Amino acid sequence: MKAKTLGIITFLSILLIGCAQETVNIDVMHDQGKPVMALDYRDFDQAASQLVQSMLASGALKKEGGGRYIIAKGRIINDTMQRIDTDQLMAKIEIEILRSGQAVMTRAVGADADKLIHEARELRDDEEFDQSTIAERGTLQAFNFSIKGKIFQRNIRYDKNLQQVEYYFQLMLSDSVTGLTYWQDEVIVGKRGSNKSVSW
């Protein structure tokens, strides 16, 4: 009887393991996966690609006489129902700005400021540190442009069974001296799906 019970347990265990959904790695280059109502990496890729192309094509970052502009990152507001790290969008954009050779990003100020840059300056007159390795006064450079943006979401009841979710990615580039906006664009990602799907 005991052997029989053990046999049944073993059989059931094998059956359950066999039914378990296998974990697979996503092929992020050629993902054949179905779209989801929430924002996924494909939506961020699409938005970042379109925004970068628009920004570079505008010529706003081309500095007369050569050289590179300095850009500070302002606030990117997440006004969606999802917990999003806005760097998912901004990191891709910053990478392409840097690689374009037209501008550099500053971490001395802005929403993504690096505290260590300022902490390093507090070491002046600290005898524990070789003062020739400490940044001198007046070495930080001010930025020429600031970049800020917003991601927001609108949920619309499409009909009895379907809902429509619209995501707006907005970005703008403004001159730090004059305050004038030299470039601005928006990418819309729209999804329509079951009312039962949740977009957060």
Please identify, using beta-carbon distances, which residue of 7 and 35 lies nearer to other proteins: 35
Size of the site for other proteins (CB under 8 A): 25
Q: Does 191 bind other proteins (CB under 8 A)?
A: no
Residues 46, 51, 54, 55, CA torsion sign: negative
The answer to whether 135 and 62 have CB atoms below 8 angstroms apart is no
Task: Determine, following the binding rule CB under 8 A, whether residue 65 of this chain makes contact with other proteins.
Answer: no
Q: Which of residues 85-104 bind other proteins (CB under 8 A)?
A: 92, 95-96, 99-102
37 touches other proteins (CB under 8 A): no
69 vs 152, beta carbon nearer other proteins? 69
Considering the rule CB under 8 A, would residue 196 count as an interface residue with other proteins?
A: no
Backbone angles phi, psi at 44, to 5 degrees: -65, -40
Residue 49 binds other proteins, judged by CB under 8 A: yes
Q: Which stretch binds other proteins (CB under 8 A): 53-61, 114-122, 139-147, 166-174?
A: 53-61
